[in-house]
Structure 1
């Protein structure tokens, strides 16, 4: 039965209003300052979804969704006062030999690496903090007997690696889609990043590397220089290349922002392998195997680790949540309303 004209006009008007409201709201949400929160991963120096095949120095806590193989690993020795739970969480099997799981610092030590950057001298007092423990969900495959490693069959109740992987992969993709706010220039071999200078801003820089190593297998990041960024701003550097990316160049201007507040994030949403040098900032590479021989002073998030590198304790500071920002469930509802409007309009044209 055909619709009455009055009902059809009214429906078209309501659908047009809904589609317009949806488009406006989604546009406002897209242009709003992003909320960057690493969730459960922010409690760890390294949060890895799959296997860790080598590890030697993790200053904070370590979470491994797959299996862990490590010889001579020191973990947790700079975890500050107030860190809760085991210093090591392994979802699968564990083979941990000739190392130590340190206890968290006493209440008087909130940040034992403050002011030191990525070359933190050894503090003999760290050895007196005592020992912590680790948990694993699979089998203990020959770990040193003096380590306190406890079987935990319900490891997912302690850390839900699958949910964290979904959340962090989505976050990485949304950050990669942000509009760049800063200027990126490469007058010579180095890349210069210039921010807006706005206080409290989220400065976003997009980098698409154009040079590979001599073997032609890896995209190589040259030295980066950062300037005109407010002391309380956040810095997001989207490295947009796919494949193998090397973050091994020098970094100028990053240390004050990262060391003071933990507000630098390198986002590699598309990379499947990342070589790490001496990096002042957190690394979010949810699809990548991580390797290298450097030191990352920040939170490290990846799919796996195949070569040991040092990981410091300088956790990423989340951005504040905007009270006027459209909540994600509402955005989803509005997007669904827009699809409904489009579908009904299509049916009307076919009728």
Structure 2
């Protein structure tokens, strides 16, 4: 009996440890970090020499490469918590006619970066930066890793195809609702608010490599700062005249199209946006922690360990002595 106990108790302990470790150590904290202070945080270029990257931006812009803007306004609706500088470029700023509410910094990652802008901008609007201004390389690594981690989260919400679009039905008891959609065209997404807590966070994992958002995105308004569309596999992301209430995390994607967005955009690059509008409306995406669901193997180990524990206890319980008969 002693040998049996010596062999089995370590297994039981390991099962219980694995269960507790799995439930705590694997929790995913969804935090856009430094990107939360911007309407768009881009690793490469915003726009090109032939086209303006954006025409109207309520918050701030950051790009690890070059920023091209013409016929635009930036920083017109900056909110508390927004980035200090309205424009931050890792390389060069190429500014045409437009308005900047705030200051612009260039040459953050490349000391050879320069600024090209009309002479009528006030003195001090543009200045040379360095790596201490903003570490694009570290931010890219953090956000790319985050996108991959979020993509692995287990769905607890239901996606129903209807009327050429998708209805998202959540778990009314969940603080974080995770939905997974494999379609290339995210068309007419409708959030079933009756199935959600009013304080719930919404995570939508789009698994396609080329994603187009079109139609309507209904009922997301009150969840804008708690909605994240995560496109970990996407190489292209396009807005097709649609309004998005939420943030987009697409670290490997080229972003393009037209429409509106109420949140933070994280992407690899931005090409011409025809009459596009990206506004901050506060603080991007609110940080949230998602507890991991233990793997099936961990449950099996736990159940086996508890079964062994019960067996050991039965074996160790001494038999009761027979009671004397009443005289």
- Same fold? TM cut 0.5: yes
Q: Hey, which of these two has a bigger chunk of strand by percent?
A: 2
Per the alignment, in what secondary structure is the counterpart of residue 86 of structure 1? coil
Match among 111, 132, 138 for residue 163 of structure 1: 138
Give the match for residue 109 of structure 1: none
* 1:11-160 matches, cutoff 5 A: 23-29=18-24, 32=27, 34-53=28-47, 54-81=53-80, 83=82, 85-102=84-101, 132-137=102-107, 138-140=112-114, 142-147=116-121, 148-152=125-129, 154=130, 156-160=131-135
Structural RMSD (CA): 2.6
Higher relative contact order (CA 8 A, sep 6+): 2
Give the match for residue 264 of structure 1: 227
Whether the 8 Å contact between 1:64 and 1:91 is mirrored in structure 2 is yes
Measure how far apart 1:35 and its partner are: 1.9
Unmatched runs of 5 consecutive residues or more in structure 1: 1-9, 103-131, 210-218, 327-351
**d(CA) in 2 for partners of 1:187, 1:145:** 54
Measure how far apart 1:58 and its partner are: 1.3
**d(CA) in 2 for partners of 1:14, 1:172:** 40
Match among 170, 187, 195 for residue 170 of structure 2: 195
* 1:284-299 matches, cutoff 5 A: 284-299=249-264
Give the match for residue 339 of structure 1: none
Q: How many equivalent residue pairs?
A: 268
**d(CA) in 2 for partners of 1:167, 1:311:** 23
Measure how far apart 1:80 and its partner are: 1.9
Unmatched runs of 5 consecutive residues or more in structure 2: 1-5, 48-52, 293-327
Distance change (3 Å), C-alpha of 1:15 and 1:38? farther
Measure how far apart 1:263 and its partner are: 0.6
Distance change (3 Å), C-alpha of 1:13 and 1:168? farther
**d(CA) in 2 for partners of 1:320, 1:188:** 32
Write out per-residue CA displacement over residues 170-201 of structure 1, whole angstroms, 9 at most, x where no aligned residue.
111111100001111114422111011126x1
Whether the 8 Å contact between 1:265 and 1:316 is mirrored in structure 2 is no
Give the match for residue 153 of structure 2: 178
Whether the 8 Å contact between 1:279 and 1:296 is mirrored in structure 2 is yes
Whether the 8 Å contact between 1:264 and 1:316 is mirrored in structure 2 is no
**d(CA) in 1 for partners of 2:71, 2:11:** 64
Measure how far apart 1:269 and its partner are: 0.5
**d(CA) in 2 for partners of 1:84, 1:251:** 28
**d(CA) in 2 for partners of 1:285, 1:187:** 26
Give the match for residue 240 of structure 1: 207
Whether the 8 Å contact between 1:198 and 1:233 is mirrored in structure 2 is no
> Normalising by structure 2, what TM-score?
0.75
Whether the 8 Å contact between 2:46 and 2:270 is mirrored in structure 1 is yes
**d(CA) in 2 for partners of 1:49, 1:17:** 48
